[in-house]
Amino acid sequence: MEQRVVTSSAKETQEIAAKIISGLKKGTTICLYGDLAAGKTTFTQGLASFLGISRLVSPTFIIMREYPVATHQVIKTLYHLDLYRLDSVEDIKAFDVEEIWSDPANLLVIEWPEKFSGILPQQRIDIFFKIIGENEREIKIITR
């Protein structure tokens, strides 16, 4: 299934994230594609807000952040993984991502997943961000 939307503010991007997560029946992996400043972290902040997480920051320098979730029936932990600084499959596997995405109580959000497309789970949501204006983003959502 594929869907396209255009947002004109960070708030609208976060609202799209809330709509996506409100429809999840179990934990999944969400892969975020796009250039720097395209809206990937803003989108993830919208997911976090919906899950009752008040402050989410980019994990660029520490690679992965883990947030407990108390407000969702199935999702109990949000993992936010940024692969920008990693260079090998061994590097990503060191974060036990296969174990994380196999647990339905986890939601794994990955920024820069194209670096390791060969090991991503088959069932996932791919979201592509394209900058089309100062505040406008085209967001393409593909559910696999």
Q: What's the longest Cα–Cα distance across the chain?
A: 38
Report the pLDDT value the prediction gives residue 9, as an integer from 0 to 100: 94
Residue 91, pLDDT > 90, answer no
More confident residue, 59 or 124: 124
Please enumerate in sequence order all residues whose Cβ is within 8 A of that of 57, keeping only pairs 6 or more positions apart, or say none.
41, 65
Helices (H), 29-87: 40-50
Backbone angles phi, psi at 65, to 5 degrees: -120, 150
- CATH number where 39 lies: 3.40.50.300
How many domains does the chain contain in total?
1
Q: What is the mean pLDDT of residues 92-104?
A: 86
Helices (H), the chain: 10-22, 40-50, 89-93, 97-102
Query: pLDDT digit string (tens) for 32-71?
Result: 999 999 999 999 999 999 999 988 988 878 899 999 999 8
Domain that holds residue 32: 2-143
